[in-house]
């Protein structure tokens, strides 16, 4: 049983407790699930080596949950889980992944229509049965159908944030096998695309059989689909396929270039080769039977008169022209964000206190964070009003007064109301270090209305960062209908920064939007939107989006040291550069 399997059961428990209307437990189980999923420690190994006390080393795992995990590891279940699963024999994780379908509604759907699966839901919705339940209506029914369609369309692809840690771990472990020289993840993962079809690993080694034996023996492997000395393909527990190709060391660069892609990029590069009377394939770049280069990617590109392009921008959208002219952008490096400017705490819907979030951020090497809890019109999160923001500010002052080399900024994730106004007074906003605002309601306005609403909000003299510019959640919620170009231009005109959200299924500002912002000289901010300490480590996923959008360090405000960031924030908006 993997950490991911355990996390799934704990998430199910959280949903069951929500159905039952139990207080506190849902949040605790959800937090434990996040923590286990992102932990570098394997729960089964911990348990094997140190029993139940060892499990409690995982943050968020206390007495009760450690008993449950023991039950899962020893017997594949535990009494409370069996009781609730019997009471609600439904695929609650899948059903509640549909927008607007929470656990409470899943319970009603089961009780009234015996809906257990996504298939049942689709059948009931197309038969017009959902609308017969009090409180559901035609709109809800349509929304469910849309949600199902969205889910189907993203089927078979995986979020980068979920796959990258697994791929990186495999790469590192294969590198340690004796005889291995190179082990590198290629394909869409190397290009850091937002979703991933499969994992492609390239290896050069003197002992191919050994590498393949280690690969098929990884604990994540569910099934071996093809096992040979040059190519082996497996399916992982999470459904994703992974393959390892063993290639000749002398053509490593050519193979890496070929298998990194994108296909579109490769098509253009190969045409360039043909135009020069050359041939390019995964074994090298050739004139007739003479191999001109193959050892490194740089060598291969050089034959074509190109400097090597960072994988993230190999999309056939201008990078080849830039490489020809030696005008490639210097992309923002991974690890260069100094502070997270969107985090939520237990003051609202986050799991941890301000002090805990700050300590975790500092442990990751960050220099500052902004606490940006939700504000009052988001009542379900316990959103803060002016008074509570002030009180929170006093807590932050007290924490900052202790010498730590780390700074907590006062902020908020203010709500943009339907008319574009903000739900907190200007006087209170003025006292904050950094004000973010986002759309959290009225997602379905027309493009013209939605655009005007967001632009009106950006005109507020205290709004520093537009959070969640599009509101998209991958595979779950369509973006709001927005004239994004007009919004980005308004950001420039008003001196407002725009957020790149690093959370794995958010990235609601897309690479193409980032590129537009960079071209227009709009400042960006990279945040995790952390609701728990375990989320803070997602910052580099946001850096990947920034890189895909051709952003440099200077485009991203929170790569700056604190004093410089504060100088920008304290400059009146119409004077910001
Ligand atoms: P994915 O797996 O759907 O997220 O996307 P990729 O880009 O990883 O695609 P994949 O796994 O099918 O192939 C890996 C790379 O191999 C791809 O990016 C470029 C190269 N490649 C594969 N098939 C072809 C092809 O037919 N033509 C060219 N030029 N390159 C190919
Ligand atoms: Ca791939
Ligand atoms: Ca592949
Ligand atoms: Zn929140």
Q: What is the pLDDT of residue 346?
A: 93
- Ligand 1 atom nearest to CA at 196: 4
Tokens (6 digits) for 208: 């191919």
The phi-psi region of residue 226 (left if phi > 0; otherwise alpha if psi is between -120 and 50; otherwise beta) is beta
How far apart are the C-alpha atoms of 376 and 380, rounded to whole Å? 9
Q: pLDDT at position 42, please?
A: 85
CA of 226 from ligand 3 middle (Å) equals 13
Cα–ligand 1 centroid distance for 199 (angstroms): 11
Span from the CA of 236 to the centroid of ligand 2 (angstroms):
14
The pLDDT score that the predictor gives to residue 298 is 97
Range(s) of the chain covered by CATH 3.20.20.140: 339-575
Among the atoms of ligand 1, which is closest to the Cα of residue 189? 8
Position 59 scores a pLDDT of 86
196/183 Cα distance (integer angstroms): 19
Residues, CB within 5 angstroms of ligand 3 (ion): 198, 200
| C-alpha 173 to ligand 2 mean position (Å) | 19
Taking CA atoms only, the protein residue closest to ligand 1 atom 23 is 263
**pLDDT at residue 128 in the model:** 94
Spacing, Cα 344 to ligand 4 middle (Å): 6
- pLDDT number for residue 390: 97
Q: Any residues with CB less than 8 A from the CB of 562 and at least 6 apart, and which?
A: 338, 339, 367, 368, 407
- Whether the link from the prior residue into 262 is cis, omega within 30° of 0, is yes
Q: Which atom of ligand 1 is nearest to the CA of 258?
A: 20
Give Cα separations from 303 to 252, 275, 281 (angstroms): 16, 13, 13
- Residue nearest atom 31 of ligand 1, based on CA coordinates: 263
DSSP state of 448: H
The rounded distance, in Å, linking the Cα atoms of 342 and 499 is: 9
d(CA 161, CA 540): 10
Strand partners, 422: 416
CA distance 303 to 275: 13
CATH superfamily, domain 3-154, is DNA polymerase beta, N-terminal domain-like (1.10.150.110)
| Best CA proximity match to 337, nearest among 313, 373, 369 | 369
Report the CATH superfamily, name and number, of domain 158-246: Beta Polymerase, domain 2 (3.30.460.10)
* CA–centroid distance for 440 within its chain: 19
CA of 304 to the centre of ligand 3 (A): 26
Residues 499, 487: Cα–Cα separation, whole Å:
12
Query: pTM of the prediction?
Result: 0.82
Measured from the Cα of 187, ligand 1's closest atom is 8
Distance CA 333, CA 316 (A): 21
Q: Which segments of 413-467 does DSSP mark as H helices, in order?
A: 426-430, 447-458
What stretch(es) of the chain map to CATH 1.10.150.110? 3-154
Q: Is 47 exposed, middle or buried (0-12, 13-18, 19+ CB in 10 A)?
A: buried
What the block records as the tokens of 216 is 């098929």
The H or E element spanning position 395 is: helix 386-401
**What are the two backbone dihedrals, phi and then psi, of residue 265, each rounded to the nearest 5 degrees?**
-60, -45
Shortest-distance atom of ligand 1 to CA 267: 29
DSSP secondary-structure letter at 94?
H
First to last CA, the chain: 53
Q: Which residues surround ligand 2, an ion (CB under 5 A)?
A: 187-188, 197-198, 200
What is the residue-level pLDDT of the chain in tens, covering all 577 positions?
A: 888 889 999 999 999 999 999 988 998 999 899 888 877 788 999 999 999 999 998 888 999 999 999 999 999 999 999 999 999 999 999 999 898 899 999 999 999 999 999 989 999 999 999 999 999 999 999 999 988 887 776 667 899 998 999 999 999 999 999 999 999 999 999 999 999 999 999 999 999 999 999 999 999 898 899 999 999 999 988 788 999 999 999 999 999 999 999 999 999 999 999 999 999 999 999 999 999 999 999 999 999 999 999 999 999 999 999 999 999 999 999 999 999 999 999 999 888 999 999 999 999 999 999 999 999 988 777 899 999 999 999 999 999 999 999 999 999 999 999 999 999 999 999 999 999 999 999 999 999 999 999 999 999 999 999 999 999 888 778 899 999 999 999 999 999 999 999 999 888 899 999 999 999 999 999 999 999 998 999 999 999 999 999 999 999 999 999 999 999 999 999 999 7
- For ligand 1, pick from 167, 187, 544 the residue to mutate: most ligand atoms within 8 Å of CB: 187
Read off φ and ψ for residue 112, nearest 5 degrees: -85, -40
Provide the 8-state DSSP code for 209: H
Pocket of ligand 1 (CB under 6 A): 187-188, 196-198, 200, 258-259, 261-263, 266-267
Which protein residue's CA is at the shortest distance from atom 16 of ligand 1?
259
- Using the atom order of ligand 1, give the atom closest to the CA of residue 200: 11
Ligand 1: centre distance to CA 192 (Å): 14
Question: Helices (DSSP H) in 406-507: which residue ranges?
Answer: 426-430, 447-458, 484-494
Ligand 1, closest atom to CA 191?
7
pLDDT value at residue 154: 65
Q: Which atom from ligand 1 is nearest to the alpha carbon of 266?
A: 29
Distance of alpha carbon 415 from the chain centroid = 22
Q: Report the separation in Å between the CA atom of 543 and the middle of ligand 1, taken as the mean of its atom positions.
A: 23
Distance from Cα 506 to the centre of ligand 4, integer Å: 13
Name the E strands within 87-175: 158-159
Domain with CATH 3.30.210.10 in the chain: 251-324
Please report, to the nearest 10 degrees, the dihedral formed by the alpha carbons of residues 107, 29, 42, 182 taken in order.
Answer: 70
Residue 48: CA count within 13 A, CB half-sphere = 6
Is the distance from CB of 300 to CB of 257 less than 8 angstroms? yes
Structural contact between residues 47 and 61, judged by C-beta atoms closer than 8 angstroms:
no
Q: Which atom of ligand 1 is nearest to the CA of 261?
A: 18
CB 438 within 8 A of CB 466: yes
What six digits make up the tokens of 278?
A: 């050359």
| Per-residue pLDDT, 258 | 98
Query: Residues spanned by CATH 3.30.460.10 within the chain?
Result: 158-246
CATH superfamily of 339-575: Metal-dependent hydrolases (3.20.20.140)
Question: Out of 3.10.20.30, 3.40.50.280, 3.10.150.10, 3.30.210.10, which CATH number does the structure's domain 251-324 have?
Answer: 3.30.210.10
CA pair distance 556, 522, nearest whole angstrom:
9
Distance 242 CA to ligand 3 centre (A): 7
In this predicted structure, what is the pLDDT of residue 155? 65
Number of Cβ within 10 Å of residue 147's Cβ equals 24
Task: Evaluate the CA torsion angle 429, 435, 440, 443 in order and state its sign.
Answer: positive
Cα separation of 79 and 66, whole Å? Answer: 14
Q: Residue 349: its pLDDT value, please?
A: 87
Most ligand 1 atoms within 8 A of CB, residue of 241, 266, 280 to mutate: 266
Q: How many residues would you count in the chain?
A: 577
Token readout for 524 is: 């960006």
Two tokens, residue 571 = 């400059």
**CA of 438 relative to ligand 4 center, distance in Å:** 11
Residues forming beta bridges with residue 530, ordered by sequence position: 343
Instruction: Confirm if 223 and 235 have CB atoms less than 8 A apart.
Output: yes
Best residue among 261, 270, 283 to mutate for probing ligand 1, ranked by most atoms within 8 Å of CB: 261
Euclidean distance between CA atoms 396 and 558, whole angstroms:
20
For 265, the enclosing helix (H) or strand (E) is helix 263-275
């Amino acid at each position: 049983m993997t950490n991911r399997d355990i996390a799934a059961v704990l998430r199910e428990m959280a949903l069951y407790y929500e159905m039952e209307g139990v207080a506190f437990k849902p949040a605790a189980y959800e937090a434990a699930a996040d923590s286990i999923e992102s932990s570098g420690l394997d729960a089964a190994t911990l348990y094997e080596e140190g029993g139940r006390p060892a499990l409690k080393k995982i943050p968020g795992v206390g007495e009760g949950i450690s008993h449950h995990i023991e039950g899962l590891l020893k017997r594949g279940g535990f009494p409370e889980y069996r009781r609730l699963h019997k009471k609600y024999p439904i695929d609650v994780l899948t059903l509640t992944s549909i927008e607007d379908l929470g656990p409470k509604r899943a319970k009603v759907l089961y009780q009234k229509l015996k809906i257990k699966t996504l298939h049942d839901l689709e059948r009931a919705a197309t038969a017009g049965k959902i609308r017969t339940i009090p409180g559901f209506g035609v709109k809800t029914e349509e929304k469910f159908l849309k949600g199902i369609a969205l889910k189907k369309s993203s089927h078979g692809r995986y979020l980068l944030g979920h796959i990258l840690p697994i791929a990186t771990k495999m790469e590192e472990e294969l590198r340690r096998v004796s005889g291995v020289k190179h082990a590198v993840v290629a394909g869409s993962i190397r290009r850091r695309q937002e979703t991933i079809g499969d994992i492609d690993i390239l290896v050069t080694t003197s002992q191919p059989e050994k590498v393949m034996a280690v690969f098929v023996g990884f604990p994540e492997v569910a099934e071996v689909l093809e096992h040979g000395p040059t190519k082996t393909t497996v399916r992982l527990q999470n459904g994703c396929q992974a393959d390892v190709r063993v290639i000749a060391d002398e053509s490593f660069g050519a193979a890496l270039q070929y298998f990194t892609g994108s296909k579109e990029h490769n098509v253009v590069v190969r045409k360039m080769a043909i135009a020069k009377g050359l041939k390019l394939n995964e074994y090298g770049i050739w004139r007739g039977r003479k191999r001109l280069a193959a050892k490194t990617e740089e060598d291969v590109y050089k034959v074509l008169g190109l400097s090597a392009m960072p994988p993230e921008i190999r999309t056939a959208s201008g990078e080849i022209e830039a490489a020809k002219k030696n005008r490639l952008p210097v992309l923002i490096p991974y690890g260069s964000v100094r502070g997270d400017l969107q985090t939520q705490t237990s003051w609202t819907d986050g799991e941890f206190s301000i002090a805990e979030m700050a300590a975790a951020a500092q442990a990751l090497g960050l220099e500052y964070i902004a606490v940006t809890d939700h504000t009052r019109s988001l009542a379900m999160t316990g959103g803060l009003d002016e008074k509570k923001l002030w009180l929170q500010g006093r807590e932050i002052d007290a924490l900052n007064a202790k010498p730590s080399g780390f700074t907590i900024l006062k902020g908020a994730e203010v709500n943009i109301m339907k008319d574009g106004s903000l739900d907190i007074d200007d006087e209170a906003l003025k006292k904050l270090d950094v004000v973010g605002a986002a759309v959290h309601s009225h997602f379905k306005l027309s493009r013209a209305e939605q655009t005007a609403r967001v632009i009106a909000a950006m005109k507020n003299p205290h709004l520093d960062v537009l959070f969640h510019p599009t509101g998209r959640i991958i595979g779950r919620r369509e973006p709001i209908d927005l004239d994004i170009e007009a919004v980005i231009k308004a950001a420039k005109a008003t001196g407002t920064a725009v957020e790149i959200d690093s959370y794995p299924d958010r990235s609601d500002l897309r690479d193409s939007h980032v590129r537009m912002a960079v071209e227009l000289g709009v400042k960006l901010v990279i945040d995790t939107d952390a609701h728990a300490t375990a989320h803070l480590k997602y910052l580099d996923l946001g850096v990947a989006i920034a890189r895909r959008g051709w952003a440099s360090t200077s485009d991203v405000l929170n790569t700056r040291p604190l004093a410089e960031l504060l100088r920008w924030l304290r400059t009146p908006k119409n004077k910001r550069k």
